[in-house]
Amino acid sequence: MNNELFNRANAQYQQRDFQGALIGFTDCLQDASAPLAPGEMGLLYHRIGNCLVKLKNPAEAIQAYTQATADAAYGALGTVECNLGMAYASLRDYENAVGRFEAAVADDGYDTPFKAYMGMGNALMKLGKSAEAGVAFREAALDEANPDPTRALLNLGVCFMALNRPADAVASYESALQFDMAPDTRNKLLASLGQAHVACGQMEKAVEAFEGAIADKTYFLSDSASVDYQRAVGAVAQGTSELTQVLDLADISGLDVSADGDPLYEDDYAADPFYYDEGYDQNAGAYPGYVGAYQGDEDRFFNASEEELEQWSRGLAKQDRKRRNVGLKILVALIVVIVLAFAGAVFAYSQGYGFPTQETVAKQLFADPEAAKASLFANMDEVDIDSMLDPVVTDADATVDGVNRSMSDSEVFVTASTEQGGDVTYRLSMVRDMIGWKISNVELYFPSQN
């Protein structure tokens, strides 16, 4: 690999010149003078994918990350799989996102699985699979490499509320309180804890949590939390601080802490860490005080088996099926068609197809070689282009004999007729240019010598 090009592209990325870095990493990938060692193709496609993410082009980032995963010698495949999951999630393709997150945590060499578990939990919540999301958030909270388990515990609480298990939500929120966190995050946590206490009928504890959330006068309860706060205050005033009848969770219209958000991407070679949550300051570093998962008397939510969570999920799915309507079915069908079309496009791209095709570019070259100089050749000196065009004859009816395709480069064999009536065969080398192709070399081809 051309280390000079690579280091220059890395420097451009650090300086937030993502377009320049993208060009640099791509040039490094295509530099024929410095062959790539095992693992370096994966590294370069990983970097290219990161640049495309920063340039807000997740669809092409997916293509680059997918190419990186094809390099089995690359040592950061778990990171790439996690980034693929985030890219799919940003396109609202949550099914594919979950699959990629699962591949990330299955990689024994991936040393920060809590990141993939958090992304997996968010995607599963988007799919309405609260039980499975709870399993993912639980794993993220228990991961000793996680510098900030509070977000996992917060989202786990949201899952338990969705599963009609407010007592376990209380345990999750109270466990999160054992860790240091930003004041705004603590206020949101206390507000959600108050709602969980209301759902359990524990009105005095609910009032205490709500008042803790608004004590510094910087935080305002959501509409649903305000309703629950007033309900709890009224119950305490009437001397019914502990209700014998647990309130119906259908009365809770929302929570102050949500389990979803816009995904970010992992730059494992950049200075700033990857992580997402609306209450987290990436520039502040990891939260201090992490000593492992809380092991108090109410940690039973950690001990629920995956089979039990799956059983809860099936019950929720059964309820959901009853609420389905024709409009939802039409929407699902449309999503399936879009996903299949996108998957087909990605597959075609990985197999070397593009627009315009290699055949089209080759025919354009022989139809008008002089005009091709300005548009069909990859970045190279005009002298080199003229040298390659010297043996090329003009033939608008040139025949494409065959194409050897791959995702990033291809060979095209063309036979053209001279003015004297003879036939000349050429071999054209092409490199990927976004979704199309550019010519990188033209040479005479003699089948008897190859």
Whether pLDDT at 131 is above 90: no
**Residue 236, pLDDT score:** 86
Which tens digit of pLDDT belongs to each residue from 200-216? 888 999 899 999 989 98
Looking at the predicted structure, is the pLDDT value of residue 422 above 50?
A: yes
Does residue 65 have a pLDDT over 90?
Answer: yes
What is the residue type of 411? E
Residue 388 has pLDDT above 60, yes or no: yes
Which of 82-96, 150-164, 235-249, 416-430 holds the top average pLDDT?
82-96
Looking at per-residue pLDDT, the higher value among 240 and 304 belongs to 240
- Would you list the DSSP string of 26-78? HHHHH-TTSPPPTTHHHHHHHHHHHHHHHTT-HHHHHHHHHHHHT-TT-TTHH
CA distances from 86 to 58, 116, 271, 422, 448 (A): 9, 9, 19, 56, 51
Where does the pLDDT of residue 383 fall: very low under 50, low under 70, confident under 90, or very high at 90 and above?
confident
Predicted local confidence at residue 44, as pLDDT: 92
Mean pLDDT, residues 78-101: 92
Task: Give the chain's mean pLDDT.
Answer: 78
Structure confidence at residue 307 (pLDDT): 54
Can you list the domains of the chain with their CATH numbers? 3-284+293-326 (1.25.40.10), 358-449 (3.10.450.50)
Q: Where are the alpha helices (DSSP H) in 127-254?
A: 130-142, 150-162, 166-176, 183-200, 203-214, 223-237
Q: How large a percentage of the chain has pLDDT more than 90?
A: 20
pTM of the model: 0.57
